[in-house]
């Protein structure tokens, strides 16, 4: 994973803007990260994921999934012929399951 020298620091107050206490070392109250994500997409991209992706240079011809793999933050499923990508823990869980499309 690339070194990020500009890391945000959790303040213990929820970053969604609700101003509630999130706890020491936490950015969000449980579930408020997804609320924040949805609010940002609505506020800045008219609720459109394609608009968000295009604004950042991603789309059918430039894969955001491959970009995540290229950073080292995501990995590919080790199963030959499987195109699943995700965070390492997610891929480990996925890879342990049968792959019916691959003949399992």
The burial of 85, by beta-carbon neighbours within 10 Å (0-12 exposed, 13-18 middle, 19 or more buried), is given as middle
At residue 1, the pLDDT reads 43
The residue ranges of every structural domain in the chain are: 8-58, 63-104
pLDDT at residue 103, rounded to an integer: 83
- Backbone phi and psi for residue 92, each to the nearest 5 degrees, phi listed first: -60, -45
* Six-digit token string for 6: 């500009």
d(CA 69, CA 49): 20
pLDDT tens readout for residues 28-87: 999 999 999 999 999 999 999 999 999 999 999 999 999 999 999 999 999 999 999 999
The sign one gets for the Cα dihedral 5, 29, 37, 61 is: positive
Q: Quick check: 3 pLDDT over 90?
A: no
pTM of the model: 0.75
């Amino acid at each position: 994973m690339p070194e990020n020298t500009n890391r945000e620091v959790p303040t213990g107050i929820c970053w969604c803007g609700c101003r509630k206490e999130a706890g020491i070392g936490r950015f969000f109250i449980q579930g408020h990260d997804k609320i924040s994500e949805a609010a940002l997409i609505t506020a800045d991209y008219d609720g459109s994921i394609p608009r968000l992706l295009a604004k950042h240079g991603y789309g059918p011809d430039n894969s955001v999934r491959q970009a995540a793999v290229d950073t080292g933050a995501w990995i590919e499923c080790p199963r030959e012929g499987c195109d699943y990508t995700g965070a390492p823990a997610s891929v480990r869980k996925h890879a342990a399951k049968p792959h019916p499309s691959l003949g399992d």
